[in-house]
Amino acid sequence: MNHLEIYIDGASKGNPGKSGIGVAIYRNGQLIREISNYIGLATNNVAEYTALIYALEEALLLKADSIKINTDSQLLARQLNKIYKVRNAGILSLYSRAVHLLTGFENILINHIPRENNILADKLASEAVKKKAGCGCQPISSAGGKSGLQRVT
């Protein structure tokens, strides 16, 4: 079984405001991917869901069949675990997309963690916002042309 442990975070400077996402993907305890991407003006909840979508898409590309998603967003974790209903129309389409992507995996765990246990994803999301705010540049992209994706070996 190809299992991945994924940490996600969204950051918003203002709510809504300039926003970024951060994703750290691990296989067998080894960091194999980092994603840091500026996503434009958004709320923090939109940034959190966008980070999740990026993470799920990358996990599918990595042919994972088992994933553990770690998030410090209690709202996102509780909505995906069907404890809370999604009532915000702006989040509903992102939620639906995430639920659709989740059907590509055999085993799924959505785990709410304390913010202090989500340091790398938080750093990646914050860096995306800071880089955009400081340079007036386009959304972050890496070598190879894959937007927001930095490969780590």
**Does the structure show a pLDDT above 50 at 10?**
yes
Structure tokens at 120: 């790398």
pLDDT of residue 144: 35
Give the integer Cα–Cα distance in Å for 152 and 129: 21
At 108-124, the pLDDT tens digits run 999 999 999 999 999 99
**Does the structure show a pLDDT above 80 at 148?**
no
The CATH number of residue 135's host domain is 3.30.420.10
C-alpha to C-alpha distances, 151 to 23, 32, 115, 146, 147, nearest whole angstrom: 12, 7, 24, 10, 11
* DSSP single-letter state for residue 147: B
The phi and psi torsions of 72 (rounded to 5 degrees) equal: -90, 5
pLDDT of residue 152: 36
Structural domain tally of the chain?
Answer: 1
At 19-54, the pLDDT tens digits run 999 999 999 999 999 999 999 999 999 999 999 999
The boundaries of the domain holding residue 126 are 3-151
On whether the CB atoms of residues 91 and 73 are closer than 8 A, the answer is: no
- Longest CA span, the chain: 43
Share of the chain above pLDDT 70, in %: 86
